[in-house]
Amino acid sequence: MRKISFALLAGIVLCSCGEKETIDNEKPSFKSVKINTVEQINATTETEVVTNEEFKIDIDVADNIDLSQLKVEIHENFDGHNHAKIAVLDTFAFNEIHTITGKNATKSLNIWTNTTDIANGDYHLELQVLDKSGNSTEYVVPFEITTP
Ligand SMILES: [Zn+2]
């Protein structure tokens, strides 16, 4: 009799564990993307950053269940492309992948353009956030690099 109730109890525990692994079909989202403290989501003007100076990016992301990864990429947009092609030398480029967890995550990056030799002009800050189930959301922020 005692053995049966232990078995039942074990069964109940296993069932409640299994319930947590519900399929996540909901995409993660960007709550805030700031360049030098200026909010970029739905911004009407482009933020300018200066060559050979550090600039700061703050990213807030959220998921209904669990976050997994944040990809941060910067590349030139001199041709006003729509991501069909990416190339060109002697322009500023940045590429990092960060592991994130939980329902909410904040990532702050200090990026140094580190040379005055890089080409000024239009750039893209391209962000991609992934959750544990592989759902992803992208957000592209246009901004400008200038020489003071
Ligand atoms: Zn681009």
Question: Which residues pair with residue 144 across a beta bridge?
Answer: 48, 122
29-44 pLDDT, tens digit each = 999 999 999 999 999 9
Inter-residue contact 145 to 102 (CB < 8 Å): no
The predicted pLDDT at position 6 comes to 53
Distance CA 82, CA 141 (A): 12
Inter-residue contact 78 to 121 (CB < 8 Å): yes
The predicted pLDDT at position 19 comes to 54
Inter-residue contact 101 to 135 (CB < 8 Å): no
Cα of 42 vs its chain's centroid, Å:
16
In what helix (H) or strand (E) does residue 95 lie, and over which residues does it extend?
A: strand 94-99
Q: What is the number of helices (H) and of strands (E) in the chain?
A: 1, 9
Q: Which domains does the chain have, with CATH numbers?
A: 24-146 (2.60.40.2550)
Residue 4 has pLDDT above 60, yes or no: no
User: What is the CA(80)–ligand 1 centre distance, in A?
Assistant: 8
User: What is the CA(81)–ligand 1 centre distance, in A?
Assistant: 6
User: What is the CA(24)–ligand 1 centre distance, in A?
Assistant: 29
110-125 pLDDT, tens digit each = 998 766 667 888 999 9
Q: How confident is the model at residue 90 (pLDDT cuts 50, 70, 90)?
A: low
